[in-house]
Structure 1
Amino acid sequence: MFYPLLFFIVLHGIFLTCAYTGWSNLNSTPRKTIEYEDNHVIMFKEEGIWNYSTMLIREDLGLLVLGAREAVYALDINDISVAKSKVLWKVTEEKQKECTSKGKHPDIDCHNYVRMLHQMNSSMMYVCGTNAFSPTCDYITYSDGQLKLEGKLEDGRGKCPFDPFQRSSSVIVDEDLYSATSFNFLGSDPVLLRTSPITLRTMLRSFNEPSFVYMDVVPESEDSPEGDDDKVYMFFSENAVEYDFYNKLVVSRVARVCKGDIGGQRTLQRKWTSFLKARLDCSVPEPSLPYVIQDVFHVRHEKWRKSVFYAVFTSQSRSTDQSSAVCAFNVTDISEVFSRGKFKTEVTVEMSDVKWVTYNGDIPVPRPGACINNAARSLGIKGTLDLPDKTLQFIRDRPLMDDAVRPITGKPLLLKRGPLLTRLVVEVVTASDGQSYPVMFVGTENGYVQKAVNYDGEIHVIEEVKLFQNSEPIDILRLYQNQLYAGSASGVVQMPVSNCSRYSSCLDCVLARDPYCAWDVTTLRCSRLPTSPEDPKGNLIQSLKDGDATQCPTSATVEPKIRTLILGNNVMLLCRADSNLAQVNWNFAGKPLPYSNRKYTIYSDGILIYNASANDAGLYTCTSVEQAKGKQYTQTLAIYDLCDRFPVVVTDKIKTTLGILTESYTTSSGLHKTEKPPSYATNQSSESKWVVMQVALALISVMVACLLIWNVYMGHISPFMCCGRQPIKSHRNLPEREYMRTGSDAVDTKQPMVRLCVTTNSTIEATSFHRNTSNGDTSTNNHISKYITDESEI
């Protein structure tokens, strides 16, 4: 009885371990976290203007054209804080009243939100706005340093959304506008529209409550032996029709149309004859509902077959444990599904609704949904007007493909728990080894941008930077010449793609594995890698794939900081690692500090010693250990010499008072020395591990309990009791910036070489610390008790 049950327990543990390993290999923690106070970015915002969510980079004019609510700006592309021009585009009073009368909010919905900006030619731009739920478009020019609306108003239906918060997408191809949005006020008529001399649109049944995300053209006619046509690809999500669920299930899609499509002769007149759509798959290791696409970035290549679409997906589960993923798709894989995959078709099942199943019948020639190519021309079909009705009727009834498009690696490149990812851009960077690596900049819903790089399938998250103080979602991201531009509801931020000065040492610089940065042995600093092949590279150390820092010179010896120990006081020794991935260790008198001892509490910023005594005097050493590709790198961060130079005679009465003060300290700070502070927010891998361990522990506990009850019942063993152990405080699960300063002593962890000695004659200090996280800021409040200079005062 015992052995089969034991085997089942072990087998179940192995399964859970494998499931966790599959997730943890993808789920990465940013190596560095840069808070808002330290981001050193350039910001633009104007009082009373909101929703900076539309951008157009005019490289020829040196401008970032920015669309917001009822305003368009021309900003200096090198310094967006400089606004060169501004033009207001407000709704009329009549339009606002009309919007309000239709039940829309006058202060939110009934404004003109600029949702589209495109360059038509060197002198003209095309701009569209919601115009109080009456979408309108106009032309805008920039001359003599001034923006000007031309006043050539056009109907914006099908080009710009009615609802300012509804997703839409558009692209200009050969001066024709391709747009995907709603065609009516209610949002019940979504369309893919081409505005051109021959206007085309999709049929009413082409979409099922979609959310349009992205659109771009791929020049597939170049070097095509089949004489193929260019194609416009569109990414969106919609309610699935192919699955049977008791409620709506959202799936991600990619669709395409041919640039040369002009509709059918009799069937599908002024409708797309080449519209096809397929499901996008971005599956995560753990069972879940399909992830929903949120944003796409097209990494173009000189040879279009090597182009890649990167996409952000988020979970649609309503659980509190939200997660996001980034997947990459090859253009050729998408094209293969459309050109060679099977179709889905509707069938009527008895006592049931219509179902979508795989179509196994004959497929007409030319193939439905295909562009006009050499094979079609050989049959006398010169354009879509010549397509036979059989082909057109087939594509009209069966636009959905049976096969799904799989990501390049078969799995997500990046997985993240916590605040959801919103937008992304990708830049291909050439490093010192001559190889090119894709670097992803991914925005989050709480105002951060994460920078991650793909090293042959291994995703390394270099850093995360908080761009906006109010933790608001990032609505748009753009890249231009080593500058990143991010827009949100309250403003726009410009930041360099890399700030190498953040890496303080050679070890920190190399282990960052940042393709933009390398350690300069000559200048002894982390510098930006030269971008031009002609620039001298000098003597640089960079190891991206391996993170090999063995070439770094030996660091200077860390001088001890001398601290005076005051008997009965609480002492805080500050020490913080350069990396979130580093493990901080403390040694006392040459031996590892006993973390299980209730006398100490370990924080991410240091160690707190309670009720110091003469036995606590000695040498404290703080080191960090960081792993990279199986190698461990140890660095001494700080050394403290805690000395009892001025002993204080402490009577029983003073000891009693000290106990009261210490109790008051722990109560006011909200962190009793036997309690664990909140977990470190950025340690996502620890959180996911804890969830898995909880599940495993619960299952094993139930099984072991059943086994024990059976053995007691059979008389194999006698009843016994177990005692739980005191939980151990782990410094990896502690607040990031929680520290205490004693008296006037303020230790700077950035300068561990400075010798510091604090002396106090016959004085006793009681201090407390508190971390305020109500608005995301970290602050320290010191409550210093009255100095006790006479025993009679007690």
Structure 2
Amino acid sequence: MQGVYNYSTLLLSEDKDVLYIGAREVIFAVNSLNISEKIHEAYWKATEEKSKECARKGKSRQTECLNYIRVLQPLNENTLYVCGTNAFNPYCDYLELGSFQLMGKNEDGKGRCPFDPAQSYTSVMVDGELYSGTSFTFLGSEPIICRHSQHGLLRTEYAVPWLNEPRFVHSDVIRAPVNNPDGDDDKVYFFFTEVSVEYEFFNKLLIPRIARVCKGDQGGLRTLQKKWTTFLKARLICHSSENNMIFNVINDVFILKSPDLQEPVIYGVFTSHLNNVGMSAVCVYSVSAVEDVFSKGKYMQSATVEQAHTKWVQFNGEVPKPRPGTCINNEAKAMNYTSSLNLPEKTLQFVKDHPLMDDSVTPLGKKPRLVLQNVTYTQIVVDQVKVLDGNTYDVMFLSTDKGILHKAISRDTEMRVIEELVLFPDHQAVQTLILSNKQNKRYIYAGSNGEVIQSPVAFCEKFTSCAECVLTRDPYCAWHPIKNSCVEILLKADTDRSLIQSLNGDSSQCPDSADKGIQESKRYTVKAGSTVEMKCSYKSNLASVVWTFNNEIFSVAPPKYIVNNALIILNVTESDAGTYQCWSHELVMNKVFSQLVIKHVLEIEKTPPPMASTTPPPLTRMEGIMETTRFYVVKKEKTTKMSTSPSTTPIVTTSVGGVTFLTNKMTTPTISVEEVFSSLPNVEKALYLTNNNDCSLLIILVIVFFLLFVILLTYNCYKGFLPDACLKYRSALLSGKKKSPPSLKDCEQGLKETLVEKTCTENQCTGTVKPTNDTGYETDADCGNGNITHKEDETTEEKEKDQPFDVKSSSPIPFPSSATFFVSSMASELHPSLSSMQPEVLSSADRDVLRLLPPFLSDQGQIVHVHGTLHLFCHATGK
């Protein structure tokens, strides 16, 4: 149904021929003989308040905060007990089958239904009491196996030895035999995978478990009050010694119960998480082997090593009586223990501390019944079929995580997959699988996230010959010689002895035994270099395929030849032409039975040789042009554009002199020599810029780029960005022009402010700025490098060459005391000996020091110039 998802809960009512489907927020009732016929539907949605509360807790409102139906169990003939996740607040209710409406009781579903729709769970209804395995908390941190009844909740102890991160897969009840001599009780079994506590491993080691509780368990009086007193668990072994594989994860379990069996048989599907090998196995266990472990096996106990580490070892002490974990049987009743409520405290305390058995449950035959590579089985159901020879065979239906169903037959101690069926073409994983037990017509029902599928247990009508019908070894199918068809034996009376069936594959009784199958023939005519696929759909899953080529065994050698349900030949050549035959080979009673399935005839299409051309060899500039190719050039306003003329001929690409063009491939087989050479001018125009307008445009572009280059070069030369070779031309251009004084850095700004000429009169002094004389030396702008760059001015070149640092002054320079102290403080930073300068007449040595200082004002308003010392002074003083 559109908009409905997660069809993960199925319940089949054989008496009413109704299949109940629990999906997301809806429950359906459909006809089990034709599930497309819907009978009833009941919607059960989470309330708006619950959805908002769930979203506030961090869950997705679109996917998780909905009501997923997880429990569908028959309470009585007229009522179903249903539970849903209800937006992470599980609720349970009763569904009245007559009106198909919920009664609205809304019981608390904790312990009965998981909170999270992605959490594992299992449940079974036994005599009106619900047994379930799930999580008891919102976070899923408290696993629980419990029973809900009118007497209250009976549950497991919340402790690691009891349950350690389990993943529940199945639960079922096994009834005790009527009038059994031991007076035993009915038992409920739980199957799950949990983290091991008894084995040390560098990572979490998963272990498959089977746990058991007794139906009559009432819990303890003081110890284990409202807890199981019969809870025991053991390890399930599924190990293949042939390939040394241990399958330690259990995915599903089916308990086969039949009146023809002495005891129920447990079928389990396993995978391995120890290494990514992609293998699955089926192991089979007897219930008696399980009971022997629980009733006679040794227990395990925890031992503390060095006060820190807990290790589980075998318990070798005295076991109290009655034996811990057993049901109230005749032996316990003989000791006056009629209920678990009056069991001795010693027995109850032992059960509380020793729930794990040391012995393990081994499979029948000490090995897996089936091991298959490259497949992951998710679900299993098992059927028993009585064939025409009177023998009974177990038929297993195994679903995969890719939406495929395998049918396997168990004969003696061997299991073989005889058929493969695609249930979900979009490879949806099969989440649930159930089998109807109708005697006349049986179906398989499979549920996935998006849909439910109904499939018959056999497709006998697809076999069109007696040999095919017998060789399939399907216990459901037999050949009807009168109807000349393969029929299903469940639909025929037991008195019909004309049917032909052989589970060992012996087809000698078939009237068409001499016929080697239907020889279908197909013919292929392909071009050389192409790829051809020749299919071979053989119908027996136990057969192997052999290909022959021209009546000889054909060896497939990749990568040219590939076999994958068909023979694929890549890059076909003349040598591949011939007859290919697909043969089906089967081993029947130690003999190989060969059957021709299909014959393929492969031919190579022969192409006519190219016609000889009388056209002379093309010119060098026309190499690569096909003789059937024409070019059309259209000129528009100084630009030449190439376009194809309107035509219905296909457009192809042609390479001319390394240039690719769009061309119209003409269909005429030949062309004259004059026509080829008549296109030469157009080709010239398309390939080369020979037009005058094109040449002038190119010349203009070159001139523009050249002028830009000259302008850029001149600008960089003028700015002095180019090397010394350009500076000579720059000096010539700037000759006779006076250079502006260089700009000063921050460290020179304070000195620049002192270059003020003081004009003093008797009453006042005014300051005017007097420019300094150009010394002809250019100072580098970087005052921190201590380098001096010289650039002589042509007007003073010869005069100042001999005395570049001479002081220009027209009169003696007497320094006043204020100026002297300022100069002294500045000079002291250059050298400590200069700090003792006095306002008296300076000596010649002091005058030499002053030459190192920048210009200062004298008391007479004259400016003292010191040439070329500004950067050296800044560098020395660090300013």
- TM-score range (shorter-chain normalised) is 0.7 to 0.9
The alpha-carbon distance between structure 1 residues 54 and 621, as it changes in their structure 2 partners (threshold 3 A), is: closer
Could you tell me which residue of structure 1 aligns to residue 505 of structure 2? 547
- Structure 1 residues 189 and 122: CA distance shift in structure 2, 3 A: same
SS at match of 1:306: coil
Q: Relative contact order: is structure 1 or structure 2 higher (C-alpha 8 Å, sep ≥ 6)? A: 1
Q: Is the 8 A contact 2:64 2:117 kept in 1?
A: yes
CA offset digits 1:147-180 (Å, max 9, x no partner): 2111111000010011111111111111111111
1:314 aligns with 2:271: yes
Q: Does 1:97 align with 2:52?
A: yes
| 1:519-558 alignment, distance < 5 Å | 519-531=479-491, 534-544=493-503, 546-552=504-510, 553=512, 554-555=514-515
1:133 and 2:93 are equivalent in the alignment: no
**Residue in structure 1 matched with residue 656 of structure 2 by the alignment:** none
Q: Match of 1:297?
A: 254
Equivalents in 1 of 2:226, 2:356: separation in Å? 20
Give the counterpart letter for 1:515 in structure 2.
P
Q: What is residue 74 of structure 2 aligned with on the other side?
A: 119
Moved more, 588-597 or 47-56: 588-597
Q: 1:608 to 1:210 in 2, by over 3 A?
A: closer
Question: Contact 1:51 / 1:488 at 8 angstroms: preserved in 2?
Answer: yes
- Asked if 1:266 is matched to 2:228, the reply is no
1:181 corresponds, among 134, 145, 148, to: 134
| Residue 207 of structure 2 corresponds to residue 251 of structure 1 | yes
Structure-2 separation of matches of 1:186 and 1:598: 53
Is the CA contact 2:370–2:414 (under 8 Å) kept in the aligned structure 1? Answer: no
Q: Identify which of 613, 633, 636 aligns with 2:596.
A: 636
Q: Offset of 1:229 from its aligned partner?
A: 1.2
Alpha-carbon offset, residue 311 of structure 1: 1.0
> Deviations 1:66-86 (Å, cap 9, x if unpaired)?
100000001111111111111
Output the amino acid matched with 2:84.
Answer: G
Change (3 A) 1:792 1:387: farther
Per-residue Cα deviation, 1:164-215 (whole angstroms, up to 9, x for no partner)? 1111111111111111111111212211111113231111112111111111
Output the CA distance in 2 between the equivalents of 1:653 and 1:515. Answer: 69
Q: For residues 706-721 of structure 1, what are the structure 2 equivalents within 5 Å?
A: none
Q: Deviations over 1:716-739 (max 9, x none)?
A: xxxxxxxxxxxxxxxxxxxxxxxx
Tell me the CA shift for residue 62 of structure 1: 2.2
Gaps of 5+ in 1: 1-45, 655-785
SS at match of 1:217: strand
Q: Distance in 2 between matches of 1:616 and 1:517?
A: 40
Distance 1:378 1:503, change over 3 A: same
Structure 1 residues 542 and 183, CA, compared in 2 at 3 Å: closer, same or farther? Answer: same
Separation in structure 2 between the aligned mates of residue 558 and residue 290 of structure 1, nearest angstrom: 43
Residue aligning to 1:76 = 31
Q: Secondary structure of 2:76's match? A: coil
- Tell me, yes or no, if the aligned pair for 1:565 and 1:617 is still in contact at 8 Å: no
Contact 1:571–1:612 (Cα < 8 Å) also in 2: no
Count of aligned pairs between the two proteins: 610
User: Structure 1 642/318 Cα, relative in aligned 2: closer, same or farther at 3 Å?
Assistant: closer
Secondary structure of the 2:168 match is: strand
- Alpha-carbon displacement from aligned partner over 1:291-345 (angstroms, at most 9, x marks no partner): 21111111113388520111111111353x3221111111111011000000001
- Residues 1:336 and 2:304 aligned together: no
Q: Distance in 2 between matches of 1:390 and 1:629?
A: 61
After superposition, the C-alpha distances for 1:361-409 in whole angstroms (9 at most, x for unaligned) are: 0011100111111111111111111211111111111011000001112
Alpha-carbon deviation of 1:223?
A: 3.3
Paired residue for 2:449, among 486, 489, 492?
A: 489
Question: How does the TM-score come out when normalised to structure 1?
Answer: 0.72
Find the residue that maps to 1:391 and give its secondary structure. Answer: helix
Partner of 2:583: 623
Q: Does 1:201 align with 2:155?
A: yes
| Equivalence for 2:718 | none
3-state SS of paired residue (2:240): coil
- What's the CA shift string for 1:588-620, capped at 9, x where partnerless? 55444465699977664346486554x877655
For 1:691, the equivalent position in structure 2 comes to: none
Is the CA contact 1:600–1:610 (under 8 Å) kept in the aligned structure 2?
Answer: no
Amino acid at match of 1:510: V
CA contact (8 A) 1:282 1:291 kept: yes
Q: Do the aligned partners of residues 334 and 591 (structure 1) sit closer, same or farther apart at CA in structure 2, a change above 3 Å counting?
A: closer
Q: Is the 8 A contact 1:566 1:612 kept in 2?
A: no
Alignment match, 1:501: 461
Q: 1:153 to 1:401 in 2, by over 3 A?
A: same
Shift of 1:488: 0.5
Q: Distance in 2 between matches of 1:157 and 1:457?
A: 43
User: Aligned with 2:155: secondary structure?
Assistant: coil
The residue number in structure 2 matching 1:88 is 43
* Cα distance between partner residues in 2 of 1:551 and 1:422: 39
Aligned to 2:566: 605
CA separation of 1:172 and 1:628: change in aligned 2, threshold 3 A: same
Within 2, Cα distance between the matches of 1:269 and 1:609? 74
Report the CA distance shift for 1:458/1:378 in structure 2 as closer, same or farther (over 3 A).
Answer: same
What residue number does 1:155 align with? 108
Structure with max Cα Rg: 2
User: Which residue is 1:762 aligned to?
Assistant: none
Shift of 1:351: 5.9
Distance (Å, rounded) in 2 between the aligned partners of 1:469 and 1:311: 26
Q: 1:408 to 1:598 in 2, by over 3 A?
A: closer
Task: Give the equivalent residue in structure 2 for 1:192.
Answer: 145
1:61 aligns with 2:13: no
CA contact (8 A) 2:247 2:270 kept: no
Structure 1 residues 792 and 129: alpha-carbon distance in aligned structure 2, compared to 1, 3 A threshold: farther
- Matches of 1:603 and 1:237, distance apart in 2: 36
- 5 Å-filtered alignment, 1:393-404, equals 393-404=349-360
Q: 1:588 to 1:173 in 2, by over 3 A?
A: closer
Contact kept in structure 2, 1:192 and 1:202, CA below 8 Å: yes
Contact 2:247 / 2:281 at 8 angstroms: preserved in 1?
no
Match of 2:250, as an amino acid?
Answer: I
Taking structure 1 as reference, are residues 219 and 609 closer, same or farther at Cα in structure 2, changes over 3 Å only? closer
**Residues 253 and 506 (structure 1 numbering): CA distance in 2 closer, same or farther, change over 3 Å?**
same
Deviation at 1:550, TM superposition (A): 2.6
User: Which amino acid is the alignment partner of residue 161 of structure 1?
Assistant: P
TM superposition score normalised by structure 2 = 0.65
Sort the Cα spacing of 1:290 and 1:414 in 2 relative to 1 into closer, same or farther, 3 A: closer
CA distance in structure 1 between the partners assigned to 2:201 and 2:64 by the alignment: 34
**1:591 to 1:398, Cα distance in 2 relative to 1, 3 A:** closer
| CA displacement, residues 70-113 of structure 1 (integer Å, 9 cap, x when unaligned) | 00001111111111111110000100011111111111210000
> Aligned AA for 2:52?
K
Counterpart residue number, 2:478: 518
Cα root mean square deviation, aligned: 2.9
Give the partner amino acid of 1:292. Answer: V
Deviation of 1:538 after TM superposition, in Å, equals: 4.3
- Aligned residue for 1:627, secondary structure, equals strand
The answer to which of 363-372 and 282-291 deviates more is 282-291
2:411 counterpart letter in structure 1: Y
Q: Which amino acid aligns with 1:89?
A: W
The answer (yes or no) to whether the contact 2:418–2:541 under 8 Å persists in 1 is: no
Matched residues in 2 for 1:263 and 1:597: separation? 67
Alpha-carbon distance in 1 for matches of 2:351, 2:490: 52
1:721 alignment counterpart? none
- Is 1:172 aligned with 2:128? no
Find the counterpart in structure 1 of residue 61 from structure 2: 106
Identity among equivalent positions (%) equals: 43
Deviation at 1:416, TM superposition (A): 2.0
Looking at structure 2, the residues matched to 503 and 218 of structure 1 have their Cα atoms a distance apart, in angstroms, of 40
